A = this chain, B = another copy of it.
Amino acid sequence: MSTPTPVMPDHPRLRPLGIHEVTLDPGFWGDRQQLNAEEIIPHVEHWLERLGWAGNFDLAVTGGLPEGRSGREFADSEVYKLLEGMAWELGRRPNPEMEERFARLSRRVASAQEADGYLSTAFGRPGQRPRYSDLEWGHELYCYGHLIQAGVARLRTYGEDLLVRTAVAAADHVCREFGDEGDTRVCGHPEIETALAELARATGRPKYLQQAKKFVERRGHGNLGKIFLGQEYFQDDTPVRAAEILRGHAVRALYLSAGAVDVAMDTDDDGLLTAAAQQVRRTLARRTYITGGMGAQHEGESFGADFALPPDRSYSETCAGIASVQLNHRLLLATGDPLHADAVERTLFNVVAAAVAEDGHSFFYTNTLHQREAGRRPPAGEASPRAASGMRAPWFDVSCCPTNLTRTLASLAAYVATADDQGLQIHQYAQGTITTELHGEPLRLLVETDYPHHGNIQVRVEQAPQAWTLSMRIPSWADGARAWITGEAPQMVEPGMFELPRPLRAGETVTLDLPVAPRWSWADPRVDAVRGHVAVECGPLVMALESPDVAAAAPDAVEAADADVATVRADPRHPLTLTEGQVMLPVRRHRNSESQWPFPARRPQEPDDETPLAHVPMIPYHRRANRGPSTMRVWIPEVPAAIQ
């Protein structure tokens, strides 16, 4: 059966359920889908008009290029990502007024396409650089990739229209220009690979898959020109098939890997799949923050060495989080390994949810784990540098993240559940409904939960086939989870996929109880940067300590400067507690002393057991920076006595 969803391999191990099969009701994610439709998408439309990035397409028609062009080389892609976001949103919930806005924007884009399918507002006109003259940095194929993904979204949610035809014409152009007889280079920024693979799936035309395969295979052989940041930056150092781990620019690495998984799945290339899966497993084990964030380094927006995960200025680009979700989703479909659904969950709650403000009007481009100096309020009326501030900004000079959020939030339902010959698997827990068919028989489930605030998840069967198996993901952190069918005895369930022992019938309910009580977490000793520190998690949520809470917890005992998060030490020999729903961190105060040289020959004084114990509230990391400029940290230094 056909179901609109962003990733639809020809014969995956697990079939993804689409956005008509899964609906999200009000709750953590349902609310964010609503916010996306009502606030984020209009906000993005506003800025794309205001800065002229949408207007570039009009100028292409009126002859106003290159003089009047705005934005960077890849500005076109932001318009395409918005169109993709609108297409998923319109597929999720019809909206005639947004439909009209979508059609208008599609027409502007389509008008700028040239007769041979080429489409770029940045290259190819008199006064601009020639087509494909700068594949390293020009982003032409990257932009097509986003155009094609928008076209795929529209084709699946609506059917053929002008945007779909525009995307197909661009894809045909790419196949002609970059075939074996043509230009055999690749784009400096991967993205076209997944897009072409998906277009092959959506149209049934294998030539796009073959072109995607060419782009995956060509890379890694020094195909691109030398750049300052090294060939590793755009993964042109080692072929995908031969690499051991993700490296270089994080978004590039993750998009490329997603494309490789797509190609591997649809060409039955087990070698390529195994290589990609192994690289991702290794990246999760060695180059991923506790938030799921990837890409530690500001320089080159890139992965660092294994275990080099400093919380200070951790880059963790929002788009890298989104790319990791896309990649891990593909690997889940390809392998069924719940490790990848764990990664999706962690990243959605702690990167994607953290990146957008509660009002949907400002965003993080980078997601640090340690804000040492209180952030500055970015200017409301202008685009901010991508990494300058400790607070969310309305727009960026490079503004890939807000538009990427629109398509991710609109298609969130796609990550919830999958099906296979045995039955149905639930991977992500959110209030909503799952309606599909198994072997032609209807299945309808209601999921009731306010996860992740509580760990109680009830799945009520409204309709079900005779023989089927329900499986539910038990997250890797869920030690002590229990499940039971109403009326039967609870049983302990282990992390991994929990298969119900018998088919559930209509009217039956299964309850899963996940332990979301606050827990301590430590780091592998090779993450030297957080040695002697401890973190706190509640279910899938990483917690953060923020200066307003440090101040509020001891309003008169300390000076103003002592409200800084640098002035507390966690004492994990005492329990984390809950007070009125707030996680309370047991701490002892530390007063920093000043000196002319910060590397003394004596061990600095730290709080000991004579220092009174206090309790400071923590907030979920995704809610940080909502109370004005503040300092913040995820990893809290421990009192020395606790360490041994």
Contacts and interface: CB of A to CB of B under 8 A. Distances in A.
Interface of A: 228-230, 281, 284-286, 288, 290, 297-299, 304-308, 310-313, 339, 342, 370, 372-373, 385, 387-388, 397, 476-477, 479, 519-533, 535, 566, 590, 592, 594-604, 606, 635, 637, 640-641, 643-644
Contact of A313 (B306, B308, B339, B596): B308
Contacts of A298: 297-299
A592 B527 CA distance: 11
Nearest to A346: B597
A479 B601 contact: yes
A573 to B, nearest CB: 11
A522 B305 contact: no
Contacts of A313: 297, 304, 308
Give the number of times this chain occurs in the complex, counting copies. Answer: 2
Given A284-B596, A372-B308, A637-B531, A385 B230 contact: yes
B385 A523 contact: no
A299 B312 CA distance: 13
B228 A599 contact: no
Given A299-B298, A528-B637, A644-B643, A305 B599 contact: no
Contacts of A644: 640-641, 643-644
Given A284-B596, A285-B598, A637 B525 contact: yes
B310 A529 contact: yes
Contact of A525 (B530, B596, B597, B606): B606
B281 A596 contact: yes
Contacts of A599: 290, 521-524, 535
A533 B528 contact: yes
A307 B592 CA distance: 12
Contacts of A530: 528
B532 A598 contact: no
A476 B525 CA distance: 33
Contacts of A285: 594-598
A369 to B, nearest CB: 11
A385 B640 contact: no
B531 A592 contact: no
B524 A372 contact: no
B597 A476 contact: yes
Nearest to A311: B528
B312 A592 contact: no
B524 A604 contact: yes
Contacts of A284: 596-597
Nearest to A312: B308
18 contacts: A230-B385, A284-B596, A285-B595, A297-B298, A305-B312, A308-B313, A308-B372, A519-B601, A522-B601, A523-B599, A524-B595, A524-B598, A525-B604, A525-B606, A525-B637, A528-B530, A532-B532, A640-B643
A525 B565 CA distance: 12
Contacts of A535: 599
A474 to B, nearest CB: 14
A524 B228 contact: no
Which 4 interchain pairs have the tightest Cβ spacing? A532-B532, A298-B299, A524-B598, A531-B532
Nearest to A305: B372
A592 B524 contact: yes
A533 to B, nearest CB: 7
A604 B307 CA distance: 15
B529 A312 contact: yes
Contacts of A566: 525-526
Given A281-B596, A285-B596, 15 more contacts: A285-B597, A288-B598, A299-B299, A305-B373, A310-B312, A476-B596, A520-B601, A522-B600, A522-B601, A522-B602, A524-B599, A525-B606, A531-B637, A532-B643, A640-B644
Nearest to A639: B644
A399 to B, nearest CB: 13
B306 A528 contact: no
Contacts of A372: 305-308
A372 B309 CA distance: 12
Contacts of A290: 599
Nearest to A605: B525
A286 B598 contact: yes
A521 B521 CA distance: 29
Nearest to A297: B298
Which of A298, A603, A640 lies at the interface centre, i.e. has the most chain B CB atoms within 10 A of its CB?
A603
Given A304-B313, A305-B372, A305-B373, A598 B637 contact: no
A531 to B, nearest CB: 4
Nearest to A527: B598
Contacts of A387: 299
A229 to B, nearest CB: 7
Given A285-B595, A286-B598, A598-B286, A522 B604 contact: yes
Contacts of A388: 230
B525 A397 contact: no
Contact of A385 (B229, B476, B526): B229
A269 to B, nearest CB: 24
Contact of A477 (B304, B601, B640): B601
Contacts of A643: 532, 640, 643-644
A524 B387 CA distance: 27
A461 to B, nearest CB: 32
Contacts of A370: 528
Nearest to A564: B526
A335 to B, nearest CB: 13
A641 B528 CA distance: 17
B477 A592 contact: no
